Amino acid sequence: MIILVNIASEFRGVEAIKRPPSGLLYVGGALKRAGFLVKVMHISAADIKKAVEEIVLMRPLFVGVSLFTGLVARHSATFSKELKRLAPNIPIVWGGVHPSLLPEQCLSQPYVDFVCIGEGEETIVELAAALDENLSLDNVKGIGFKRDGNIYITDTRPLIENLDAYEMDWSLLGIKNYVQKIEGFGEMFPYITSRGCPFSCGFCYNYTFNKRRWRAHSVEHVIEHIKKIKESAVASWVFFDDDNFFANKKRALDILYRLYDIGVYCSFLEIRVDSITKELMRELKDLKVQRIFIGWESGSDRMLKLVTKGFDKKKILEKCNILADYPEIAIDASAIIGFPTETMEDIGETLDLALRIAEIVPNNNFNIGTYLPYPGTQLYDIAIKEGFVPPKDPEGWGDFDILAGNIKMTWLPWASNNESEIFRRIDRYSKLLNHMRSPNPFINFLKIVLYMAARFRLSKRFMSLPIEVVSFEWWHKRAVKKITEKEK
């Protein structure tokens, strides 16, 4: 028996899609095909103690923990320490983005025995066989381990070339647990068709983890698997969780058209700003695509150049004018503030551009997040040069999460302890800039009032006493809770 664990991400909003631990479903499927008995546990931080007690009774060959940088790293450390306390002889294997980028730091912890570096499908099967048969670990590519008090990292494992050789094994968790209802549309399920991204955004892990390479399942593979999911989950909307679904435009449209023909429609996909054209938006509208995500990142050309986005403010506005002609498609528009070397003037340019975009595209859902210096990104070294001191252990990385509270932005010499809270309020007010008309007169009136309040706040940079967002979030949570209770 092998147990694979992921501690679910924590979201501030109640609207966040239920994302499955996709990596573990791929890895678990590979282990099953190799003949191992596998159990996947997708738990919350509150479930750690109960889960550990269950695992101890099952006496697995090892426990694999998948994690990324942020609060999940802290929760994974808590889980691993508790498991080691109750069952010190059960090996613990960490995998995923965070241990892949900081393998030595993770292995230096007494509660981590092995790390899988990079993609895990091939690595985990070889590691499982080595542990099961007591074979040498030296020939298993893509792992780190400890021997006689020393840390060893084996040869790098090449990226998987044929993704169709692997698939998410939904029998390990059940797709219905991750289906989400879209009001007025139907049931939606998540799906990943590709890995990586060919671009080099300075804040993205893909630069190191996927070596700036984009690889994809074949169109046939995607269609056949989505057909099966549709039949088993009785859902007809798909949420594409690819890092860059439109890395290959012809392939992306081929998938969307073929799904359309079998009655499956796209509720969400991600696309680069500079890929937007009138022709493409017309096709997405005809294909009933409900929402797209764009990362415009900054209103400062200096920052856009620093993070190597490959476009400028003029291009962003040009593409937003195209988006304005297709109000049927909602836009999730993401920007980041607090980059290394960024000034308040740069941030002001981002806020001013957000206000202009809001005027142009009324059905725009903004996210203006705070930059966090994650390892494996191009900006990481710049942040260190500017004063950032990386945490010394996984628990310390738990502070580098939007939900973790006040973050000391030491990579910005001018930022006081107040700035992280101010940045959070900027994000919360930006979310009120959506002024798409609602058929409900009361909701429509409320949206207009909140939109005007947000415009005033952001234009004047006045973030004190955020009465509007606190009141709105309280009301919204109550409304969602009532809807959820009614559905139950």
pLDDT of amino acid 483:
52
Write down the mean pLDDT value for the chain: 92
Contact (Cβ atoms closer than 8 angstroms) between residue 141 and residue 165: no
pLDDT of amino acid 214:
95
Position 455, amino acid: R
Tokens (6 digits) for 51: 């889960």
Contact (Cβ atoms closer than 8 angstroms) between residue 436 and residue 450: no
Q: Answer yes or no: is pLDDT of 43 > 50.
A: yes
Chain centroid to CA 282: how far?
A: 28
pLDDT of amino acid 186:
84
- The per-residue pLDDT for range 216-254, each reduced to its tens digit, is 999 999 999 999 999 998 899 999 999 999 999 999 999
Average pLDDT on 125-131 reads 98
d(CA 291, CA 257): 16
pLDDT of amino acid 189:
93
Indicate the range of 9-13, 273-277, 298-302, 468-472 predicted with least confidence. Answer: 9-13
Q: Answer yes or no: is pLDDT of 484 > 60.
A: no
**Whole-number percent of the chain with pLDDT over 90:** 80
**Whole-number percent of the chain with pLDDT over 70:** 95
pLDDT of amino acid 472:
75
CA pseudo-torsion sign 224, 227, 232, 235 = positive
d(CA 449, CA 468): 9
Provide the greatest CA pair distance for the chain.
70
Q: Answer yes or no: is pLDDT of 447 > 50.
A: yes
Q: Answer yes or no: is pLDDT of 381 > 90.
A: yes
- The per-residue pLDDT for range 50-75, each reduced to its tens digit, is 999 999 999 999 999 999 999 999 99
- The per-residue pLDDT for range 301-353, each reduced to its tens digit, is 999 999 999 999 999 999 999 999 999 999 999 999 999 999 999 999 999 99
pLDDT of amino acid 471:
82
Distances (CA, A) of 34 to 27, 38, 120, 166, 263: 11, 11, 14, 12, 35
pLDDT of amino acid 14:
35
pLDDT of amino acid 15:
41
Q: Which residue has the tokens 């080595």?
A: 130
- The per-residue pLDDT for range 174-203, each reduced to its tens digit, is 898 899 887 777 899 999 999 999 998 999
Per the model's pLDDT, the better-predicted residue between 471 and 226 turns out to be 226
pLDDT of amino acid 85:
97
Bridge partners for 364 per DSSP: 331
Nearest to 322 by CA among 282, 368, 271, 266: 282
Cβ neighbors of 443 (< 8 A, separation 6 or more) are: none
Q: Answer yes or no: is pLDDT of 481 > 70.
A: no
pLDDT of amino acid 13:
38
Q: Answer yes or no: is pLDDT of 39 > 90.
A: yes
Q: Answer yes or no: is pLDDT of 26 > 80.
A: yes
Q: Answer yes or no: is pLDDT of 280 > 50.
A: yes
Per the model's pLDDT, the better-predicted residue between 435 and 133 turns out to be 133
Mean pLDDT is highest, among 18-27, 86-95, 445-454, for 86-95
**Local confidence band at 485 (pLDDT 50, 70, 90 cut-offs):** low
Indicate the range of 256-260, 361-365, 431-435, 439-443 predicted with least confidence. Answer: 439-443
